[in-house]
């Protein structure tokens, strides 16, 4: 199986031994504690599951700036975005051991224990420097920029030990999986080549067929449909609705034992190209050999050009930084001429009128009225689940 990023073995930060975890939990109750923001909590969950291998905790300011500037930590580790614990909490001192409380679970239970190696103030100029590099904009209307700029100005760095996976295991017991568990399932299937499909949205016909195209062209044994389960921007479809619609599509339209439907506990960054590279890093940690990168991957609004997330792998990711390979995908749509879904680059003789194209707004309006989009756009079983959801919010 493909090696994890940056090490020979995966290094999940979840304390898996029951006795050790119980002892750490008891110790944590007597430690000074801080309440994390959602971004830092999501980072802890990803570290716990081995997704951010080989990191052992939160980055310090020097590594945060270096990672933002050139996608490497000071000691040369390739990593595309800083993994931070930013806060406005005061009174924390370097050299202390603290408990980290979960902002996303009632009662704010302890999520992790941290050995604080450094407490550093981050200037507005340094925040702007990181934001410009990570998001390619400092526009506060960008949801990722807005979140990042409001995380706090004190940076706590150091290793962590994680006690649980926040709300993700309880809320998504059939879907949430750690990188460790995904690797184990890939091994159990006996798969060698595995392509990952990233999604924060439901999957329509074009997405479904794109997965098939990638599997056939690469010659993979299976596909990992891997959905984000954390916080999104207002208006995005909730994770439970996406989960149900994707599972229905897989159950009805894919051969048995060819698809793993799973999810991971992270808040969306909307960082476009940089987030695409992060997706590649943690899919390699999952054991995937390939990642589909399509049009406007991890983008939002008009902040990124359609294929910036592919270009970054060609122009900015140093050769040899990743073992995982990228499957570059074009926009896919149903061709009326050919009566099948195609990549637009493969049919240069087509005009816009030759495709079944619907805007997201048009689809939402149809679903809200109980009108199914055409079957060339969305499978009826999927459309039914989404229509039921939209009618509840529109009603």
Strands 154-162 and 222-228: unpaired
Residue 385 lies in a domain: yes
Sign of the CA dihedral 122, 133, 50, 199?
Answer: positive
Domain boundary among 117, 149, 169: 169
pLDDT digits (tens, 9 = 90+) for 132-180: 999 999 999 999 999 999 999 999 999 999 999 999 999 999 999 999 9
Question: Based on the domain organization, do 256 and 383 belong to the same domain?
Answer: yes
Range of the domain at 264: 173-394
Q: Does the pLDDT value for residue 309 go beyond 70? A: yes
The pLDDT value recorded for residue 367 is 85
Domain boundary among 153, 169, 185: 169
Question: Based on the domain organization, do 189 and 165 belong to the same domain?
Answer: no
d(CA 215, CA 327): 10
Question: Based on the domain organization, do 111 and 247 belong to the same domain?
Answer: no
Structurally, the chain folds into a number of domains equal to 2
Question: Based on the domain organization, do 350 and 254 belong to the same domain?
Answer: yes
pLDDT digits (tens, 9 = 90+) for 346-373: 999 999 999 998 877 788 888 888 888 8
Rg (CA), the chain: 21
Q: Which of 45-54, 164-173, 280-289, 367-376 has the lowest mean pLDDT?
A: 367-376
Question: Based on the domain organization, do 150 and 222 belong to the same domain?
Answer: no
CATH code of the domain containing 246:
3.40.50.620
Secondary structure of residue 68 in the 3-state scheme: helix
Residue 1 lies in a domain: no
Residue 11 lies in a domain: no
Instruction: Examine residue 339 and say whether the peptide bond preceding it is cis (omega within 30 degrees of 0).
Output: no
d(CA 278, CA 283): 9
For the annotated catalytic residues, the residue numbers are: 200-201
Mean pLDDT score of the chain? 95
């Amino acid at each position: 199986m493909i090696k994890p990023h940056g090490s020979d073995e995966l290094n999940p930060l979840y304390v898996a031994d029951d006795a050790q975890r119980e002892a750490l939990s008891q110790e944590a109750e007597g430690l000074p504690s801080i309440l994390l923001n959602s971004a830092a909590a999501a980072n802890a969950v990803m570290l716990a599951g081995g997704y951010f291998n080989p990191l052992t905790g939160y980055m310090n300011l020097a590594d945060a700036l270096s990672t933002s500037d050139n996608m490497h930590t000071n000691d040369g580790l390739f990593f595309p975005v800083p993994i931070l614990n930013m806060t406005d909490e005061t009174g924390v001192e370097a050299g202390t051991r603290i408990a980290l409380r979960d902002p996303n679970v009632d009662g704010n239970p302890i999520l992790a224990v941290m050995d604080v190696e450094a407490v550093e103030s981050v200037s507005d100029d340094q925040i702007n420097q990181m934001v410009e590099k990570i998001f390619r904009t400092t526009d506060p209307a960008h949801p990722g920029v807005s979140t990042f700029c409001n995380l706090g100005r004190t940076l706590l760095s150091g290793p962590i030990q994680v006690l649980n996976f926040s709300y993700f295991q309880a809320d998504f017991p059939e879907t949430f999986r750690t990188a460790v568990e995904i690797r184990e399932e890939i091994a159990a299937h006996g798969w060698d080549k595995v392509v990952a499909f990233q999604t924060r949205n439901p999957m329509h016909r074009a997405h479904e067929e794109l997965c098939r195209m990638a599997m056939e062209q690469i010659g993979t044994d299976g596909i990992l449909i891997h959905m984000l389960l954390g916080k999104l921007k207002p208006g995005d479809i909730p994770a439970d609705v996406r989960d149900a619609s994707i599972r229905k599509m897989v159950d009805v339209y894919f051969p048995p034992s060819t698809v793993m439907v799973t999810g991971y506990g992270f808040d969306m960054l909307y960082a476009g190209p940089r987030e695409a590279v992060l997706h590649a890093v943690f899919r390699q940690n999952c054991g995937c050999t390939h990642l589909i990168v399509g049009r406007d991957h991890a983008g939002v609004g008009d902040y990124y050009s359609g294929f910036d997330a592919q270009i970054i792998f060609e122009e900015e990711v140093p050769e040899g930084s990743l073992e995982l390979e990228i499957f570059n995908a074009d926009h896919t749509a149903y061709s009326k001429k050919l009566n099948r879904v195609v990549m637009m680059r493969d049919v240069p003789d087509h005009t816009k009128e030759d495709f079944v194209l619907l805007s997201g707004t048009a689809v939402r309006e149809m679903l809200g009225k109980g009108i199914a989009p055409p079957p060339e756009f969305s499978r009826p079983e999927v459309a039914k689940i989404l229509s039921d959801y939209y009618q509840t919010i529109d009603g």
